[in-house]
Structure 1
Amino acid sequence: MEYAIVDIETTGGNASSGSITEIAIRIFDGNRIIDSYETLVKPHHAIPPYVASLTGIDDAMVENCLPFGGVAKEVFDMLEGRTFVAHNVNFDYSFLKHHLGSEGYQYTAPKLCTIRMSRKIRPGLPSYSLGNLCDSLDISLASRHRAGGDADATAMLFSKLLAWDLDGVIPAMLNEVAEEKELPATLRNDFDQLPNTPGVYYFYNDSGDVIYIGKARDLKKRVAQHFAIYSPNRKGSRFAKKVARISYEACGTELMALILEVLEIKRIYPKYNTALKKYEAKAGLFVYEDENGYQRMTIAKSKKGYLPVQVFTTRQGGMNKLRELSRRFGLCASLCRLNSCELCDLVDKKKDLLCTANQSPDIYNQKVERALSFLKEDEQGFYIIDKGRNAGEKSCVWVENGQFYGMGYIDNNADIYSLYDVRDSLTRYTGDHYIMQLIISYVCKYPRKVVPITGKPVTAEWD
């Protein structure tokens, strides 16, 4: 089981009237943190002074950040299919469920509260606030009342509680959540056919129209979540009550499910898939020369008349790419308008680490040119080999000239004599920048599964 350990900072205590100002998510597999997400969020209204004093997050800090709608897809993907864990879980859960719902994401998940768990597993402590618990249990807590610091502390607390839970308190709590699920009898047969594999699922109304399409790491688990905590007064339940039939398309990997979901939503445009219809390039990577002659790379909103080197669905995705380029090619983070430059910070400690403070524009600009060449080479073409839907096949996603070309499955016993045999066996699709962002994000996580179309192929991960 994977857990999404969450902490948020907000402008107030009510999900419907308050806004989120910061989100941190740590993905925990029961042993260690395997993924992490953290971002500031621009609220819909001014941050109250007493909240700014408590959290240290003021209006100036979030002025240039994305609103929640700009990060909702990334947040949903991090949370989907995982148990939601937080300190005072109903607070964080209600905010994220409400704001995800406002962006078109029907989110439901089993949840665990570390306050409730702590009271049962470590009874008798003087206080169960996060700060006092950390003091009592010798847990490091940095950046109190900031999402990242509190999420890290909650993750350490949760890890200890798992180890101390000799009486099965946590499994019992999860069983309580599972008992709240109620699947309509008319859907039982369709539901029983769903596999526990990645894929795309389709919800139909009683007229046979597709009203919703979703993707999942685990089809059966994800579909069940749509019918969790079934109540006629809940928005999610009103949506679920319209479902008369379920079908699915199994995929070899989550990446293929992500891509297929986008393609199918664009093809069918179901009534309740509102979020992906609105996706467009919201940021771009631009290059310009400053007054000192330095070539500067920066992430900014896409504007007519200005040609970006690369476009991104979210500003956060662009910032992640720019950070990668900064680390890979030694670009000055300050010149890239990132938070700070590690080389600048270290220049006084290690004289051999030189940044723009003592490099000429010509030398620095060569680094920028290498970064741009790297991006261009990245667009030449590659394919991704990964797991298939069964042991007898492999999946393949093909990128050509920097664009998504197609995907499909190749039988292990197929006669493959050239790259063209691989490409010709795939289903051709028309992609867009959003699909390429999905692919690029996957490539950054799993580079060994990528085979360049030109050059010597790297070792692929077949299992």
Structure 2
Amino acid sequence: MYAIVDIETTGGHASANGITEVAIVIHDGKEVVQHYQTLINPGIPIPIYISALTGIDDEMVRKAPPFEKVAAEIYDLLQGKVFVAHNVNFDYSFIRHQLSQAGFELQLKKLCTVRLGRKILPGYASYSLGKLCKCLDIEIEGRHRAGGDAEATAKLFSLLLENDKEGLIQRSLNRNSKEQQLPPYLNREELEKLPSSPGVYYFKDRKAKVIYVGKAVNIKKRVYSHFSGNNSGRQRQEFLKNIHTIDFKECGTELMALILEASEIKRLWPENNRALKRFDLAYGLYVYEDQKGYQRIMIDKKNKFSTPVYSFSQLSEGHNLIKVLMKEFELCPKLCFIQRNTDPCIGIQDQHCHGACDGKEHQWSYNQRVKAALAGLKAGLPSFAFIDEGRTMEEQSVVWMESGQLKGMGYLPKDQDLEDVLAVKSFLEPYSSNDYIRTVVQTFASRYPEKVMKIQV
């Protein structure tokens, strides 16, 4: 038995919106055997543009039951059936969320008439309910009302059953089939071509614009994981609806996939990538010359108009580094903003300030020590090659770091002499470095020291 469902709502995602109308048509596989329809009071105002689309306004639902009053009836009607809808994940997410709020847990097999239509009735320009039904001469009485759309979907479903010569509907219901979890406009063939290797994948919309970039140790497994579960949030619902195609690039290792992902997000700036867009080490070490000609070191919040000498996640990290530089290179705590009061300089007391803060040391001699401190800081940044597996048995991968910055990565023959720096570099593709990439590479180097080869720059 199939329960063909259509709903009208106050918005596009279940977690922050309500249902205004529900229609359920029970189909026994041959014909419709039962109808159910009711308006629902969503408990929140219906937006004007929704009312304009559906004709359902606040006054119409004022005396309608809230969902919890009809939840048991709807649950009993759906239980044991296959849940069918046009873009099934949308309707299912709302019904499941509302039933859960009322104390009922819904777990049903699903069928999407968008996905089934594209496979069983191929060749149409659009598979939206209105346009597809028009092409198939299926009349919709009451478009954008739950009852009219559910009846039309039931007629469409009957047509799909009649034309399903290859048993696609039954195969989609098999326990191991994940067909109905997939976005409505994504062909399963797109998933079948994905490799089970590390790399980066790209979700694209109907215009082939990249809307999400992700990395994976196993590309196929990771992509499938995006489509499991029943998250009812707006972001996920919109995300799934807009996925039309998938592309990918294989990498030799997880580290290379992480670097490529970060680089591609910066290059493409996809709308659904939020975490890496926000990543940044918040503080930087800066150097400037004051009005008296002294070079001054300070820690400040990073901004897009200046490039720091070094970056930190916490203010205390920067201050601790400056204190080390002060003692090692005999710098003034007042000129380094470690001491901010008007008391006598603690650096003079500790004999590592020569009086620059009082003008007793010439700018040139003080600035030479600042330059030496910065040179020492740069020299302390690691330069190494991270050697690991390649994409095939015949190659190895290399991630190349110089003075704490990524210079490039690539693949070279397994028998390549790693001591021949110029030859190794010829295999590398340049990549821009940033705080995130530097942190990731250094984390992997610390975790796998046996894969690190020191280099001279």
Smaller-chain TM-score bracket: 0.3 to 0.5
Q: TM-score normalised to the size of structure 2?
A: 0.43
TM-score between both structures, scaled by the size of structure 1: 0.42
Max radius of gyration: which structure? Answer: 2
